[in-house]
């Protein structure tokens, strides 16, 4: 099992969610995060230009079985991308165990 963490634009979230559902990735968690990065958001306030370091993004955590990994990554890459600076990042790591609390199932059956 793999854990896929994706930081994406909020504006791309609905599209990503729909695409993940289409490839039968039905369960994942997300939350809103604030970060800093290379993107400069130009602002002008009362004649003074400034750029805020606060970048608002959505953080998705998706745990998938190994054979779903490529499909998931491809989906994220194709739907979350705009081509501009600030599209976000994806991190993949190993997951040693998964347990469904209600049934006690472990491993891949617990996440499908």
Partner 1 sequence: MEQSLFTANNVWMMICTALVFFMHLGFSLLEAGLTRQKNTINILFKNLFIICGGLLVYYVIGFGLMYPGEFNGFFGFAGFGIESPENGNLVTYADGGYTYWTDFLFQGMFAATAATIVSGAVAERIKIHAFMLFSIIYLAFVYPIVGSWQWGGGFLSTLGDYFGQEGGFYDFAGSTLVHSVGGWAALMVIVVLGARMGKFDSDGKSKAIPGHNIPIATTGVLILWLGWFGFNGGSVLSADPALTSLVLVTTSMSAAAGGFGAFVVSAIKFKNFDVTMFMNGILGGLVGITAGADLMSPLESIVIGLISGALVVFAVSWIDKLKLDDPVGAVAVHLFCGIWGTMAVGIFGDKAGLQQLLYQFIGVFIIGIFCSVFAYAIVKIIDLTMGVRVGKSEEVEGLDIHEHGMDAYADFGLNDH
Judged by the rule CB under 8 A, the positions of this chain that interact with partner 1 are: 34, 43-50, 52, 54
Q: Which is nearer to partner 1, 49 or 101 (CB)?
A: 49
**Phi and psi torsions of 65, nearest 5°:** -70, 160
Q: How far is the CB of 52 from partner 1 (least distance, A)?
A: 6
Q: How far is the CB of 29 from partner 1 (least distance, A)?
A: 21
Q: Which is nearer to partner 1, 34 or 103 (CB)?
A: 34
């Amino acid at each position: 099992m793999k854990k896929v963490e994706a930081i994406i634009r909020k504006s791309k979230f609905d599209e990503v969610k729909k695409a993940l559902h289409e490839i039968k990735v039905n369960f994942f968690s997300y939350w809103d995060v604030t970060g800093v990065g290379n993107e400069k958001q130009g602002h002008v306030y009362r004649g003074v230009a400034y750029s805020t370091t606060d970048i608002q993004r959505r953080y998705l955590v998706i745990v998938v079985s190994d054979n779903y990994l490529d499909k998931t990554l491809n989906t994220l890459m194709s739907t979350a991308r705009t081509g501009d600076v600030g599209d976000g990042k994806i991190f993949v790591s190993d997951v040693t165990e998964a347990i469904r609390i209600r049934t006690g199932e472990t491993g891949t059956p617990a996440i499908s």
